[in-house]
Structure 1
Amino acid sequence: MRIDIWSDVVCPFCWIGKRHLEAALEAFRSEHPGTEVEVVWRAFELDSAAPRHGERGDEESAAQMLSRKYGMTLTEAEAGQEQMADRFRELGLGYDWRSSRVSSTFDAHRLAALAADHDLADQVDEALRRAYFTNGERLSDPEVLRRIGVRAGLPADAVDGMLTGDGFGDRVRDDTEAARGIGVTGVPFFVFDGRLAVSGAQPVEVFGQALEQALVGRQP
């Protein structure tokens, strides 16, 4: 079974959804030993116009971005971010929303694509999310991306070549076009075996049901 997941590494619901899917997968694998499940991460930029590193030094905080985008007061946006941090803590995750700064994730997605070719997709995905949410780092910063890639086990020369060139950019754009082609307007978005779609950070039980339905659909 294959699960394609469209996600952005600065999307809080994407990390929550990932944890819920992981819990559902753990139960599914115990009930169906021998059933192989491949998880494929697909790129989706929530804000393709977000500034890239070096373009400006006044990047918005996540709360400021939400306030501007949805027309709420900054106080309301900050309260929402604190509620999100509470949800993160329930899952053993950290969210320092006061330090987070919104910037382009295009190069982060390129790094993730490189990692997928080296069977390190999940390690890099986790490191990118932790860098943004927990450590308040800018994922458009080449030094941050280089450190994440090398620490995850990617060859340093491959990471450097990707960061100084345009490698894997086409793959990021292809993922975006594929998402548009199936009507994806928000993330996380999960497609089980190319047939069954689940949108959003659904509860563990919903992902468990999706896995069972996808398995039944594979039967002759």
Structure 2
Amino acid sequence: MTETRLSVDIFSDIACPWCFIGKRRFEKAVQALPFGEKIDVKWHAFQLDPSLPDHFEGSELDYLVKAKGMPEDQVAGMLEHVTGLAAEEGLKYDFGTLRPANSFTALRLLALAKDRNLGDAMKEALLSAHFEKGLDTGDKETLQRIAEQVGLNAAETAEVLAGDKYAAEVRADGTRAREMGVSGVPFFVLDNKYGISGAQSSEVFEQALSQVWKEIGGNELKMMAAPTADGEVCGPEGCN
């Protein structure tokens, strides 16, 4: 008899502050469930801003004000708010040292890590590098070091960084997400049928996972939880 397992596909970007918070809240839910070890997570790319240069000259505040056309005081308040919520999840966001960068190369490297069963470790390392450590995730030498620390082969990593390997996979992830109607991340797909949008609370994730575990089935992607005050997302126009 085949063992029942629950698949969860998570679409996100390493440059999305709510994606790191959502990851932590989701992990808390999984850890609290008696069948948590039977949940299989797979990360998928969803690049929020393909137009961002590899190395943006300025801070995250500058980027959001200039690139997104948001008022400076509004952006400052938003960054303070998200920093506080991140702290509640044990994350130490530092927007003062954060270096805005195009995430496409990092997402390609994440695709390699997924192929080597290091997807979650690489996702964690990239998010932490971007939001907590002030590292330039658009810099290939920085990405090389991160990859080697996670356990990826140095030569294989260098080959990916030197060319365009996994570019098609990253773009395919984005296309798949948009075909499902995803416009903001993080976005969670449970058992290929049930969708949850945003960095929901751990309680919402726990309830949804428990429900799907009991009721696996159906052919249509159903929205199990609409974005709420605890389910913020980032989209191409910015984060809320």
TM-score of the alignment, normalized to the shorter chain, above 0.5: yes
Residue 119 of structure 1 is matched in structure 2 by: 117
Q: Which residue of 2 aligns with 1:170?
A: 168
Scaled by the length of structure 2, the TM-score of the pair is 0.84
User: Does residue 48 of structure 2 align to residue 46 of structure 1?
Assistant: yes
Deviation at 1:72, TM superposition (A): 3.3
Instruction: Give the aligned partner of residue 155 of structure 1.
Output: 153
Q: Are the equivalent residues in 1 in contact too, given 2:25–2:89 (CA < 8 A)?
A: no
Structure 1 partner of 2:31: 26
Aligned to 2:215: 217
Give the Cα separation in 2 of the matches to 1:121 and 1:72. Answer: 33
Matching residue within 11, 24, 29 for 1:6: 11
The secondary structure found in structure 2 opposite 1:40 is strand
Q: Distance in 2 between matches of 1:144 and 1:214?
A: 39
Which of 77, 80, 88 is matched with 1:79 structurally? 77
Q: In the aligned structure 2, how far is the partner of 1:127 from the partner of 1:43?
A: 15
What residue in structure 2 maps to residue 15 of structure 1?
20
Q: Which amino acid aligns with 2:40?
A: E
Amino acid at match of 1:96: D
Per residue, is there more helix in 1 or in 2? 1
Contact 1:6 1:190 in 2 (8 A): yes
User: Kindly, what percent of the aligned residue pairs are identical?
Assistant: 41
C-alpha separation in 2, matches of 1:60 and 1:142? 19
Report matched runs for 1:67-216 at 5 Å. 67-216=65-214
RMSD after superposition:
1.7
Structure 1 stretch displaced more, 86-95 or 169-178 = 86-95
Structure 2 SS opposite 1:92: coil
> How far 1:6 sits from its partner (Å)?
0.4
How far apart, CA to CA, are the structure 1 residues paired with 2:100 and 2:155? 28
Report how far residue 116 of structure 1 moved: 0.7
Quote how far apart the aligned CAs of 1:101 are. Answer: 2.2
Could you tell me how far apart the structure 2 residues matched to 1:176 and 1:36 are? 26
Which consecutive unaligned segments of at least 5 residues does structure 2 have? Answer: 1-5, 218-240
Range with greater deviation from structure 2 (107-116 or 60-69): 60-69
> What is the total number of aligned residue pairs between the two structures?
213
Letter in 2 for 1:38: D
Q: CA deviation at 1:70?
A: 4.9
CA contact (8 A) 1:5 1:39 kept: yes
Q: Distance in 2 between matches of 1:84 and 1:60?
A: 20
